[in-house]
Amino acid sequence: MSYINKSYQIFVCLLLTLSISVKFNHTFAQSDIKKKLAREAELLKIFENTFVFPKEIHIFRKDSLGFVTGVNISGLTLEEVPTEINEFEFISELIFTESNLDSFPLFILEFKHLKFLDLSSNQIDNIPDKFHNSKLEILDLYDNKISVLPPSLKYPKIKKLIIQKNEFSYLPSVITDMDSLSYLSMSKNAIQKFPNEIGNLKKLTELYARETALTTLPEKISELKNLKRLDLTASPIKTLLKGIVGIEKLRVIFLDQTKIEKLPDYIVDLPNLETIYLEDTNISTLPTNIHKSKSIKCLGLKGSNIRSFPSNFHKMEKLEALYIQKCPNLKNLPESLGLIKSLKRLNIGYLDLGEIPNFVFELDSLEELSIKRNKIQDIPDKLANLKNLKEIELNMNPLMTYPKALCELPNIEKINVNQTELTTLPLEALNPPKLKCILIDYNPIRSLPREFLILKRNRCGLPDKIRIE
């Protein structure tokens, strides 16, 4: 019993000691805070008197206590970064975009709390090897003259790295040591290949390699188990190796303007792939088994050499968006496309169509329809069957009269009839209850009902009005 009492007494003494200590430290901290805030106020005046900042730039960001935590001096032509910034000891964010810097400001690395650094659009050609104690998480070096990254960049827990538009001819090896990296943009560099060590980036979710010199991907890319977005736009990629199937979480892949001429059959084995963009490629057909994909929701084939669709294409039960505008070799659109009941967005513009294909009127779920720049003169009344349609583009077609069906669409919000041959609009055009906007520019319209003129004059400032442009 005495042992318990003694222990209790010791515990109470410890609490009292701790309480006194905390009170003392708190008092000291309050005094220290006042001094530091006073000094920062002096520094702010120095900045105001020394530099003329563009009004639209928010130069200083502060925390709840009033300490400066962010500095943005973008757009100023500086021979060197003002060293007074170094006295703001709680800086976590620095933005020196378009500041004409030709060297990396070394004092930046003295900030103990710095997590975000943006040095984009400067003339920097060298990065110092002094990141051993850095807490940096986001580093933006876009549009500089850098060709090498220092080994010490592996020490910070960098999560987002942007080296786009520099002078790299290979992927710096230090990048594959960044085990916290989730976002990497290396676009617009003459990088010819990925090292196999790219597979070390286990946390990578987004990889952007647009306009590089890449011609293929390594098999080890299959080890990027968390990659969700892969952008290879305008890189001379010729094929996708089977290793890509290992990227099980991949959702979006951009292959626009690449050298790819054929999608491999195993593309359907990617269980979470939702979007494939193949715009402006030499793709002439799709895999015959593409209908077996249980995840693909969007196919972007704009400007490609696609000639036809596989016979079972209509069985793509998850497809929600199909973009096939500007495909010069696509002469016939199969009526079976009308069986894709999941389709919500369809673009069949620039195909020299003389009429809207009948299958379009069977797409009950359609919300967005573009038939832009064809040779269509009349719109059938059965367009009104598309009860879920919200937006329609009929511009650049030789329409002589405003389609009656447009006046009967219950969910339509935006109608584009720019650059047609319309000479007037019926008052019934205002009937759709959810209509927000009718675009009627560049038409030979001679007269409009008074109601339209009022709306046009008022520029539709009220939420229940329709914008006439």
Q: What is the pTM of this model?
A: 0.87
Residue at 223 is within a domain: no
Tell me what pLDDT residue 450 has. 72
Domain that holds residue 442: 362-469
**Helix H or strand E segment including 388:** none
Burial of 371 (0-12, 13-18, 19+ CB in 10 A): buried
Q: Which two tokens stand for residue 282?
A: 């030499």
Q: Which two tokens stand for residue 272?
A: 């979470």
Residue at 402 is within a domain: yes
Measured CA to CA in angstroms, residue 384 lies from 37, 348, 389, 409, 449 at distances of 66, 18, 9, 6, 23
Q: What's the chain's length in residues?
A: 469
Distance CA 18, CA 455 (A): 72
In this predicted structure, the answer to whether residue 316 has a pLDDT above a threshold of 80 is yes
The mean pLDDT of 408-414, rounded to a whole number, is 96
DSSP state of 266: G
| Phi/psi-derived region of residue 373, left when phi > 0, alpha when psi is between -120 and 50, beta in every other case | left
- The three-state secondary structure class of 403 is coil
Question: Confidence band (pLDDT; 50, 70, 90) for 53?
Answer: low
Residue at 418 is within a domain: yes
Residue at 245 is within a domain: no
- The three-state secondary structure class of 107 is helix
In this predicted structure, the answer to whether residue 463 has a pLDDT above a threshold of 50 is no
Residue at 376 is within a domain: yes
Structural domain count, the chain: 1
User: Any idea what the CATH number is for the domain that residue 371 is in?
Assistant: 3.80.10.10
The mean pLDDT of 327-355, rounded to a whole number, is 96
Distance CA 240, CA 267 (A): 9
Question: Confidence band (pLDDT; 50, 70, 90) for 46?
Answer: confident
pLDDT in tens, 179-213: 999 999 999 999 999 999 999 999 999 999 999 99
CA angle 164, 168, 169 (to 5 degrees): 130
Residue at 302 is within a domain: no
- Phi, psi (rounded to 5 degrees) for 70: -140, 140
pLDDT in tens, 225-265: 999 999 999 999 999 989 999 999 999 999 999 999 999 99
Residue at 244 is within a domain: no
pLDDT in tens, 72-106: 888 776 666 677 788 888 999 999 899 889 999 88
Residue at 122 is within a domain: no
Tell me what pLDDT residue 51 has. 66
Q: What is the secondary structure of 118-177 as a DSSP string?
A: E--SS------S--TT----EEE--SS------GGGGSS---EEE--SS--SS--GGGGG
- The three-state secondary structure class of 28 is helix
Terminal-residue alpha carbon distance, the chain: 89
Distance CA 442, CA 32 (A): 67
Tell me what pLDDT residue 143 has. 98
Tell me what pLDDT residue 66 has. 87
Choose the most confident range, by mean pLDDT, from 303-317, 423-437, 448-462.
303-317
Question: Confidence band (pLDDT; 50, 70, 90) for 49?
Answer: confident
pLDDT in tens, 424-445: 889 899 899 999 888 888 999 8
CB 207 within 8 A of CB 184: yes
β-strand pairing of 321-323 with 68-72: unpaired
